[in-house]
Amino acid sequence: MVDINYVFEGSGEKTIVFIHGLSDSLDYWRRLSLMLSDEYKVLIYDLRGHGESELGDEDFSMDLLSDDLYTLFLKLNIKKASLIGLSLGGNIALTFTLKHPELVEKLVLMSTFSENDDNLESKFKEFKNAINISYETFFDVIVKYVMPQDVYDENREVLEVAKKMKAETANIKAIKNAIDVGGEFNVTGQLSKIDNETLILYGRDDEIISLNLTNILKDNIRNSKLIILDNTKHDLLIGDNIFEILKLIRQLI
């Protein structure tokens, strides 16, 4: 067992669990969590090896990441919750739902995939090569894939500070492991088992996840709806998107 860092707060009858993506932390969800905590119980947490959570010495896998979440459900006595996952977090949400359908209410899959294509495989190779050099190199490679150029330019100084701070604490092994499990992920053949009402959110300009991969989710999860956000890459929580996504979450959950 490893120590998983989490924040569980808020009030209301329904529970929302946010699951962050590769190399990120629970801080990614702080703003949304605060906005929703008056209406819902909200769980945000650091994936193992990310943020302040321990990596441990178990074989790193998507099942292991799903099992970590299950352990939190037991620890916090969560009987049922809606899952919101970004990218790798969406992979975990899918895995958890397939393993524990009785614990899941609704699903929100953001910049998520159920299998790889040639483009995604090439991106994972690029990320792996970069992290093998240094965290700073990895950051420089991935940041321009996740946000539009104008957003990057406007926040260049803040991003440089963030890069230096993250480089001091990032667990390189965990990032490599997460890249590997993402590259091996494939649950497309099981998507038809998911009956949960599902909202799929996609950035029209995403260069990591193709629209084709997104449509595979839409076509195979029977009770799903796809919304495409304009002027958006892989990171959906930019600019006014956060208010649109907040509205969509409230409508769904």
The answer to whether residues 136 and 163 touch, using CB atoms and an 8 Å cutoff, is yes
Element (H, E) at 211: helix 211-220
Rama region for 47: left / alpha / beta (φ>0; ψ in -120 to 50; rest): beta
Task: Map residue 228 onto helix, strand or coil.
Answer: strand
Q: Walk me through the domains of the chain, giving residue ranges and CATH numbers.
A: 6-117+186-252 (3.40.50.1820)
The torsion angles phi and psi of 23, rounded to 5 degrees, stand at 65, 10
Flag the least confident range among 71-80, 97-106, 154-163. 154-163
pLDDT tier for residue 179 given thresholds of 50, 70 and 90: very high
Task: Map residue 224 onto helix, strand or coil.
Answer: strand
Whole-Å CA distances, 25 to 45, 101, 191 = 7, 25, 27
> What pLDDT digit, counting tens, does each position of 191-200 carry?
999 999 999 9
Average pLDDT for 142-167 = 93
> What pLDDT digit, counting tens, does each position of 123-145 carry?
999 999 999 999 999 999 999 99
Cα diameter, the chain: 47
Element (H, E) at 109: strand 104-110
Average pLDDT for 24-33 = 97
Residue 65 clears pLDDT 90, i.e. is over it: yes
The torsion angles phi and psi of 163, rounded to 5 degrees, stand at -60, -45
Alpha helices in 110-154 (DSSP H): 118-133, 135-146, 149-154
Average pLDDT for 84-98 = 98
Taking residue 97's Cβ as centre, other Cβ atoms within 10 Å add up to: 25
Buried residues in 205-238 as b, exposed as e (16+ CB within 10 A): ebebbbeebbebbbebbeebebeebeebbbbbbb
Average pLDDT for 93-108 = 98
Pair of tokens at residue 93: 């949400």
| % of the chain surpassing 90 pLDDT | 99
Element (H, E) at 90: helix 88-99
pLDDT of residue 1: 78
CA 46 to mean position of chain CA atoms:
11
Which among 18, 87, 115, 17 is positioned nearest to 236, based on CA atoms? 87
pLDDT tier for residue 28 given thresholds of 50, 70 and 90: very high
- How many Å apart are CA 57 and CA 97, to the nearest integer? 25
Rg, the chain, Cα only: 17
